């Protein structure tokens, strides 16, 4: 029966009751239930009429999400989700386990790490100070820092707070951002000073996501406000929002309850395999990623930063400040499609959403909302680099990228090889940046990127189209590896097997020139092994969260320096023995071996592997 018919017949019966002046108990009960029926029908119709930006009805959402979770149950560990709008919570639920082995279920009051969502506290803090006229977003940040605080600047153009917000300050990436030992955590100022990355791009030139830049902005908040950053966030964000189940301290010193609940959480990979138990790692640059708390606290914060005329944000005295936040500060190339809003990233689904994601050693989280419809969703999982819920499930709410403004622009697949601007491009670990070579295909047209003037722009990083440089980088590393393998094979097969057996049988001694060839082979083999060990440690650290101490990498860099010097000495001494009882064949072999050794030395010099003081 349609709503109009229900209302018509209900009102008709009510009218008869009133006309007959019925006063009996039955009539009163009948009238009461009919009124309830009308209200219920109106509510149901109203709810059914509400739709998400994707076109899905509110009433259909629970089934869609639960079906989606069931579809991915084999790899799901723990996942909490809340969908909301400016008026109400549309849907909330928790799935899976915070500890699969102990069968400890995830609840809405379970604590997860929020990762880089923590950066939103930095940007809100900055905008609060901006509201008080205590900071100019376009002014040189040196005005807010101690003298000579920034040691590794390479360009005269000043860095502004907007550059930090847009991740366009030009700093290269950093590896040493966390530790398994709480005792290693120092003050924010000390952490920034001891881990200053090099500036490799002019401010404003490229987007290159930077944890260090965000932490630097938090330090500026600390300097301007005169308060410790943790205290500032509690007083100006957590307390106004009554976020009693959240922490921002790198060691959870600000909330004992959060710490105790966090200890119950186990961490898993994307396949659902446990990776390191509790996985408590402490972030040196803590404002950039140390927040943790419950899903309801995260939703409370998300609602407070979403434009809402009905319920003004308690985080700002002037709602015009919140309106200022949602003026785009960075765009894709020369288009008018926003990339960044004062530190909040734009995402392209069927509609544009604004928010931020977060990843830690064992947790992934996401906060996204559509400022036009007021619909938002927050998600938390205890799986590292998780994307099924933190990215793909958002299509249920906001639609698909293929319907976005960015997807409607005519784009052609970039030709050739591209290099990532986010990485370590200078210093002893720069070989890792050189390995960041990739290419695009037709399938990538379904992703968020835009190419203009040889630069492929994505949300978090630009990629430079540079086939010659990319090929050079790859060839350098291939020659380096080939030289090492050549050295190991020649030393083992030629020196330890063939020559050893031959000399033992014939009673001969290894000739001087051949001896130096074997010395070079040994040095080249050790050099390759040293590189492989570094690469494996960094790769393991990416998976487990612990890449080791800075000091251990300094030692390995010193090893490169020593090996390079020893190879140079061996070549020099070998050349002096070049004409001493050496056959043409021996000279030829020594020459080839020397070329391989020189190749390794040149790669060490080119990628600055010897700069042990550069960590």
428, 542, 419: which is closest to 197 by C-alpha? 428
Tokens of 238: 């957590």
- CB crowding 301-315: b at 16 or more within 10 Å, else e: bbbbbbbbeeeebeb
Rounded to 5 degrees, φ, ψ at 531 are -65, -45
Mean pLDDT for the stretch of residues 295-314: 92
Inform me whether the pLDDT recorded for 36 exceeds 80.
no
Give residue 496's pLDDT: 63
In percent, the amount of the chain with pLDDT more than 70 equals: 88
The CA-based angle 481-482-484, given to 5 degrees, is: 65
Q: How confident is the model at residue 29 (pLDDT cuts 50, 70, 90)?
A: very low
Give residue 504's pLDDT: 57
> What 3-state DSSP class applies to 163?
helix
**CA dist 283 → 286, 424, 562, 597 (Å):** 5, 19, 33, 40
Inform me whether the pLDDT recorded for 1 exceeds 50.
no
Q: Counting beta carbons within 10 angstroms of the beta carbon of residue 439, is it exposed (0 to 12), middle (13 to 18) or buried (19 or more)?
A: middle
Inform me whether the pLDDT recorded for 146 exceeds 50.
yes
The CA-based angle 148-154-160, given to 5 degrees, is: 70
Q: How confident is the model at residue 7 (pLDDT cuts 50, 70, 90)?
A: very low
Give residue 470's pLDDT: 87
Lowest mean pLDDT among 159-168, 535-544, 565-574: 535-544
Give residue 37's pLDDT: 55
Mean pLDDT for the stretch of residues 297-318: 92
Alpha helices, H only, 507-579: 512-544, 550-576
Q: Which strand (E) or helix (H) includes residue 13? A: helix 3-19
| Dist. CA 106–CA 89, nearest whole Å | 19
Question: Taking all residues of the chain, what is their mean pLDDT, rounded to a whole number?
Answer: 89
Beta bridge partner(s), residue 464: 419, 455
Domain chopping of the chain, boundaries: 3-49, 69-408, 473-614
Q: How confident is the model at residue 170 (pLDDT cuts 50, 70, 90)?
A: very high
Q: How would DSSP label each residue in 431-478? A: HHHHT-EE---GGGGGSS-EEETTEEE-SSBEEEE-HHHHHHHHHHHH
Q: Which strand (E) or helix (H) includes residue 486? A: helix 467-489
Which are the contacts of 185, defined by CB distance < 8 A and separation ≥ 6?
179, 191, 250, 251, 282, 284, 286
Which are the contacts of 138, defined by CB distance < 8 A and separation ≥ 6?
160, 161, 162
The CATH number that domain 69-408 falls under is 3.40.710.10
Residue with tokens 């021996």: 586
Q: Bigger pLDDT: 563 or 540?
A: 563
| Alpha-carbon torsion, ordered 163, 164, 170, 173, to 10 deg | -160
| Dist. CA 296–CA 524, nearest whole Å | 57
Lowest mean pLDDT among 21-35, 213-227, 237-251, 450-464: 21-35
| Dist. CA 560–CA 566, nearest whole Å | 10
**CA dist 79 → 26, 111, 226, 247, 605 (Å):** 50, 11, 38, 19, 47
Lowest mean pLDDT among 450-454, 577-581, 607-611: 577-581
> What 3-state DSSP class applies to 283?
strand
Give residue 444's pLDDT: 83
267, 242, 236: which is closest to 113 by C-alpha? 267
The CA-based angle 215-219-223, given to 5 degrees, is: 170
| Dist. CA 176–CA 9, nearest whole Å | 72
């Amino acid at each position: 029966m349609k709503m109009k018919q229900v209302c018509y017949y209900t009102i008709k019966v009510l009218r008869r009751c009133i006309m007959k002046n019925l006063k009996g108990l039955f009539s009163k009960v009948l009238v009461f239930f009919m009124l309830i029926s009308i209200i219920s029908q109106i509510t149901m119709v109203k709810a059914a009429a509400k739709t998400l930006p994707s076109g899905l009805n509110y009433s259909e959402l629970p089934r869609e999400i639960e079906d989606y979770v069931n579809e991915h149950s084999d790899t799901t560990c723990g996942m909490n989700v809340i969908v909301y709008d400016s008026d109400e919570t549309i849907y909330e639920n928790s799935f899976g386990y915070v500890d699969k082995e102990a069968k400890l279920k995830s609840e809405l009051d379970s604590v997860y790490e929020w990762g880089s969502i923590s950066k939103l506290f930095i940007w809100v803090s900055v905008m609060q100070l901006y509201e008080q006229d205590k900071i100019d977003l376009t002014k040189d940040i040196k005005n807010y820092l101690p003298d000579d605080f920034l040691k590794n600047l390479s360009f005269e153009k000043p860095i502004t707070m907007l550059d930090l917000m847009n991740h366009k300050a030009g700093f290269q990436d950093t590896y040493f951002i966390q530790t398994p030992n709480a005792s290693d955590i120092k003050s924010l100022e000390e952490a920034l000073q001891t881990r200053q990355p090099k500036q490799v791009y002019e401010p404003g030139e490229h987007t290159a996501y930077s944890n260090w830049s965000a932490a630097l902005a938090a330090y500026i908040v600390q300097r301007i406000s005169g308060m410790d950053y943790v205290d500032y966030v509690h007083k100006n964000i957590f307390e106004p929002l009554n976020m009693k189940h959240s922490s921002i301290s790198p060691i959870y010193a600000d909330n004992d309850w959060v710490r105790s609940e966090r200890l119950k959480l186990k961490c898993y990979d994307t396949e659902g395999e446990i990776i390191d138990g509790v996985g408590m790692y402490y972030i040196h640059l803590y404002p950039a990623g140390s927040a943790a708390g419950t899903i309801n606290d995260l939703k409370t914060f998300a609602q407070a930063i979403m434009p809402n005329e009905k319920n003004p944000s308690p985080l700002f005295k002037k709602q015009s400040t919140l309106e200022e936040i949602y003026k785009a500060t960075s765009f894709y190339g020369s288009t008018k499609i926003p990339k960044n809003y004062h530190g909040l990233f734009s995402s392209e689904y069927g509609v544009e959403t604004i928010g931020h994601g977060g990843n830690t050693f064992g947790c992934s989280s996401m906060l996204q909302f559509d400022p036009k419809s007021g619909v938002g969703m927050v998600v938390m999982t205890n799986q590292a680099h998780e994307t099924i819920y933190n990215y793909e499930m958002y299509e249920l709410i906001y639609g698909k990228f293929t319907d976005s403004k960015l997807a409607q622009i005519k784009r052609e697949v970039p030709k050739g090889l591209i290099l990532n601007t986010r990485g370590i491009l200078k210093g002893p670990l720069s070989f890792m940046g050189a390995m960041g070579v990739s290419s695009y295909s037709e399938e990538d047209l379904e992703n968020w990127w835009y190419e203009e003037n040889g630069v492929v722009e994505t949300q978090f990083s630009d990629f430079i189209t540079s086939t010659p440089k990319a090929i050079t980088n790859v060839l350098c590393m291939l020659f380096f590896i080939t030289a090492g393998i050549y050295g190991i094979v020649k030393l083992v097969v030629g020196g330890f097997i063939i020559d050893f057996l031959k000399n033992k049988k014939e009673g001969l001694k290894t000739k001087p020139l051949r001896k130096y060839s074997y010395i070079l082979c040994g040095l080249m083999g050790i050099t390759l092994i040293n590189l492989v060990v570094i690469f494996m440690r960094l790769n393991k650290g990416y998976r487990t969260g612990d890449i080791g101490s800075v000091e251990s990498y300094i030692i390995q860099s010193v090893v490169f320096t020593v090996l390079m010097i020893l190879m140079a000495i061996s070549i020099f001494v070998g050349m002096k023995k070049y004409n001493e009882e050496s056959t043409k064949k021996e000279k030829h072999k020594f020459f080839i071996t020397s070329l391989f050794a020189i190749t390794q030395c040149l790669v060490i010099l080119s990628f600055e592997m010897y700069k042990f003081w550069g960590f």
